[in-house]
Amino acid sequence: MWNFALLATLFVAVYGSGELSILQTPDSLRFSGQQQLDLSSVKNVLATALGFSVPETPRWSGLTVKDPFHFADAIVVMAVPGVASLDSVQGRTYPLATDEPLEDTWTALTWRMEDRYPLLADNLTLNHLSADSRADGEALYGELEKKEAPQVDYLKPSVPVDQAFIDQVTLLDAITTKIAEKGLSNNGVPDIHWFSVPGLHALVDTYGAHSKQVEEAKRLLSSSTLLLSEVFNTAYNDKVVFGLISSDVIHTRRFRRQSPSANDSAPAKPSNKQAKDSTDDNYPVMFNIFLWFGIAFFMALLATSIGIADMDPGRDSIIYRMTSNRMKKDN
């Protein structure tokens, strides 16, 4: 028992922990089970939800494609660094092994979108918003009305880290109101919306992971996230995958030196060698064409063979005429 506890502790120290919660999903996709997932594999799961081909990896059983002709029109992610879980969030939740920084998932998704739609680069909606910048929020979603700050019991607006988190939740609520009133334009190309909420990480570092301030902050963020997921689902006519990713990878020793700081830009795009290693996007199309043509040709050949085998070899049949020593002529 002690050996198992020690092994689990070492695993968390090396990889960190987190959660993936799916709040909204279209009818063509089904999330089930509780199988653990690596954070580095989340980009493949989300890309699959958009109908993209992904590199061959060990199959994750949590996602099932029920209708291969209808995928999600948009992916929306709420990224919460610095915590392993929001505890009270609704939806289907999966444990995460946080083996890479959160920003790598965003970078990989944007690269795949640009690679799949190179001729529609100007029409792609790739919104990355850190919730601590209202100006960026208005640049992406238009002018936002000023919302009243949520009521708090333990967080104090006079404390800078508390006020920063309250402002982030208020910004999310303003975006929720904006989308609910104006909706979102859909040009037929899948969209990606990525929201990052860094304020909770600062609260954990200031008060502790199990403090009353952090517990209250989690409840506020969970409530705002649920409302935001509902308006996105309505805006995309129930064809959106809304996921919440919480990750304490920042607190793990292995990735502290590798993860970008708050002022760093997003990680660089994959190299050309990595691009060549990925599967061609036309592969599923060509595979289906050859598969169904082969099946149709085989069925036609089988039906013809059965028809000839059952034919009566009488005087009027082609079999009698072709196998006779001399051609029969009608008098």
Query: Is there a single domain that holds both residue 248 and residue 128?
Result: yes
Per the domain annotation, does 270 fall within a domain? yes
Per the domain annotation, does 251 fall within a domain? yes
pLDDT band at 6 (very low <50, low <70, confident <90, very high): very low
Q: Look at residue 320 and tell me whether its pLDDT is greater than 80.
A: no
Per the domain annotation, does 329 fall within a domain? no
Query: Is there a single domain that holds both residue 149 and residue 294?
Result: no
Rounded CA-CA distance 302/304 in Å is 5
Give me the amino acid identity at 83.
V
- Mean per-residue pLDDT, 137-164: 92
Token duo for residue 82: 């610095």
Rounded CA-CA distance 94/133 in Å is 30
- Mean per-residue pLDDT, 161-188: 93
Query: Is there a single domain that holds both residue 246 and residue 138?
Result: yes
- Average pLDDT along the chain: 82
Model confidence over 220-245: pLDDT tens digits? 999 999 999 999 999 999 999 999 99
Q: How many domains does the chain have?
A: 2
Model confidence over 30-85: pLDDT tens digits? 999 888 999 999 999 999 999 998 877 667 889 999 998 899 999 999 999 989 88
Per the domain annotation, does 221 fall within a domain? yes
* Domain closes at, from 280, 296, 315: 280
- Mean per-residue pLDDT, 107-130: 90
Dihedral angle computed from the Cα positions of residues 168, 173, 177 and 179, in that order, rounded to the nearest 10 degrees: 60
Query: Is there a single domain that holds both residue 76 and residue 145?
Result: yes
Per the domain annotation, does 239 fall within a domain? yes
Query: Is there a single domain that holds both residue 130 and residue 86?
Result: yes
Token duo for residue 64: 């099932």
Q: What is the pLDDT of residue 63?
A: 92
Query: Is there a single domain that holds both residue 54 and residue 119?
Result: yes
Per the domain annotation, does 330 fall within a domain? no
Q: Look at residue 263 and tell me whether its pLDDT is greater than 70.
A: no
Per the domain annotation, does 64 fall within a domain? yes
Q: Is the dihedral of CA 206, 207, 213, 216 positive or negative?
A: positive
Query: Is there a single domain that holds both residue 154 and residue 208?
Result: yes
Q: What is the pLDDT of residue 273?
A: 43
Rounded CA-CA distance 175/144 in Å is 7
Provide the domain limits for residue 226. Answer: 2-280
**Own/partner long-range contacts of 219-222 (Cβ < 8 Å, ≥24 apart):** 219/88, 220/150, 220/152, 220/169, 221/80, 221/86, 221/169, 221/197, 222/86, 222/87, 222/88, 222/89, 222/90
- Mean per-residue pLDDT, 81-103: 87
* Domain closes at, from 245, 265, 280: 280
DSSP characters over 185-207: ---SS-EEEEEE-THHHHHHHHH
Query: Is there a single domain that holds both residue 242 and residue 291?
Result: no
Of 87, 95, 81, nearest to 220 (Cα)? 87
